[in-house]
Amino acid sequence: MFSFLRELQENNNKDWMDEHRSEYHEVRDWYISWLNELDAELEKVDPDYHSTTGKRAINRINNNLLYHPNKPVYKDHFGAGLDLSNHGKQGDFYIHLGTNGCFIAGGFYKPKKEVLDSIRDAIDYNGKELKKIIDKKSFKDTFGELIDDGDSLKTSPKGYSNNHEHIDLLNRKTFAVQHEITQREVMREDFKSKCVEIYKEMLPFRKYLNKAVTV
């Protein structure tokens, strides 16, 4: 996988991809098969898990040049989102395997206003529960802090006081976490088991958010 991605980044054009299309499909098919196996394992540990085939989970390797014309033709990674619901408001469990970094993430990254409003409503109602989840030692050891791209509000959101008990959370625009992994870890035989353990550690956090946006 990684050797193919490295070659692709050195020859990021359609002509090269067309010449190596069979190799691309070989790598992609392997990843889809691996995702199908992980999907089956996640179903065993979470009764509310939404089964997601590898073919549905995997993202396109082409960049969207219509909206990002300055990006390369092809991405430098294979990405996949599991535990996808049909209503589109589920924070997925995302696996990113690339030449410039690998990680496992989940939650809502810069969600739409209606989703963000629902999360803020939940925090206003019971932010203590979310604090308890993200302050848990094993959670912090796995993910550290919530992802912060520096885009949090400087003042309280409309309808909330600056003195709110959970203003630090209410001001956020992203509610997601990330666990960095190495290429060596990805290639180990126990990588699937590692993904399952990370999924279980992330689960209370994702359940809180998914309940907030679907109830």
Lowest-pLDDT range of 88-92, 112-116, 168-172: 88-92
Is residue 74 predicted with pLDDT exceeding 90? yes
The Cα 124–Cα 62 span in angstroms is 40
Instruction: State how far the Cα of 214 lies from the Cα of 195, in Å rounded to an integer.
Output: 25
pLDDT band at 126 (very low <50, low <70, confident <90, very high): very high
Three-state secondary-structure class, residue 62: strand
CB 91 within 8 A of CB 81: no
Give the model's pLDDT for residue 66: 77
Query: How far apart are alpha carbons 123 and 169 in whole angstroms?
Result: 8
Mean pLDDT of 39-46: 97
3-state DSSP helix/strand/coil percent for the chain, to nearest 5? Answer: 50, 15, 35
Asked if residue 211 has pLDDT above 70, the reply is: yes
Strand, helix or coil for residue 80: strand
Cβ 32 vs Cβ 25: under 8 Å: no
pLDDT digit string, tens, across residues 136-149: 999 999 999 999 88
Q: How many residues does the chain have?
A: 215
- What percentage of residues in the chain have a pLDDT greater than 70? 98
More confident residue, 173 or 150: 173
Tokens of 149: 């791209």
As a whole number of Å, the end-to-end CA separation of the chain is 40
- Per DSSP, the residues of 191-215 read HHHHHHHHHHHHHHHHHHHHHHHH-
Pick the CATH number of 2-214 from 3.30.930, 3.30.310, 3.30.160, 1.10.3470: 3.30.930
| Residue 114, C-beta contacts closer than 8 angstroms, at least 6 positions apart | none
